[in-house]
Amino acid sequence: MIVLSGTIGAGKTSLATLLANHLGSEAFYESVDDNPILPLFYENPQKYGFLLQNYFLNKRLDNIKDAQGSALNVIDRSIFEDLLLFQLNADLERATQTEVQIYGELLQNMMEQVDFSDDAVVKTPDLLIYVNVSFETMLGRIKKRGRAYEQIENDPSLYDYYKELTSRYHAWFDNYSASPKLMIEGDKYDFVNNDEHLNEIFAIIDDKIKELGIKG
């Protein structure tokens, strides 16, 4: 499958829909608006952070299993990013380092490829696409989509969280080696509102898919 990665507000969900339509495949989405834990986490991250990460882990594994039908299916968030997000929460004292260690070990065990049959689930993507946006762009998109629990005016501590998250993503992508990868510059290409930009993005991705020999 093809998985998208990037910070909050990078446009992953929109690109997943557009790209799946372009490729004639299916898109599978992160559980956000229907996530019962996420609002609780923003109210009390120390209490609900570990529960939230395990909720996301379960949902992401469901997405990976559901996406097995085609190498061109698109998932709108990579499971490989979750440890980055949780580690940041611990470093900001929104979770504990012990919780991060336990979660990291659980993630590692669950991602191990155990192949006992022809129906084994392949957990490593064929391609990871990182949508890179600046801190300013991220803040603007968070503001525009209007989820109350994400807004800085409702929780000023989120400013530092978002800023640190942006900086850590660059290092994460540089070090990512689980699969082929591609960076899309989200500040340069407004693929949601500009069809010309969207077609340029499609051309870049199509060339990478062709280079890698990915077929549905």
Q: Which residues are catalytic?
A: 76
Q: Is 137 annotated as a binding residue?
A: no
Residue 143 annotated in ligand binding: yes
60 marked as part of a ligand binding site: no
Q: CB–CB of 86/103 below 8 Å? A: yes
Orientation of helix 12-23 relative to helix 195-212, angle to 10° = 70
211 is known to lie in a ligand binding site:
no
What separation in angstroms does the CA of 213 have from each of 74, 118, 134, 166, 216? 16, 21, 31, 32, 10
The answer to whether the annotation marks 150 as part of a ligand binding site is yes
- For tokens 């077929």, the residue is 215
**171: which 2 tokens?**
């290092």
Residue 20 annotated as binding site:
no
164 labelled ligand-binding:
no
| Binding site per annotation, positions | 6-14, 30, 42, 53, 77, 82, 141-145, 150
Q: Which residues make up each annotated binding site for ATP?
A: 6-14, 141-145
Binding-site residues from annotation for substrate: 30, 42, 53, 77, 82, 150
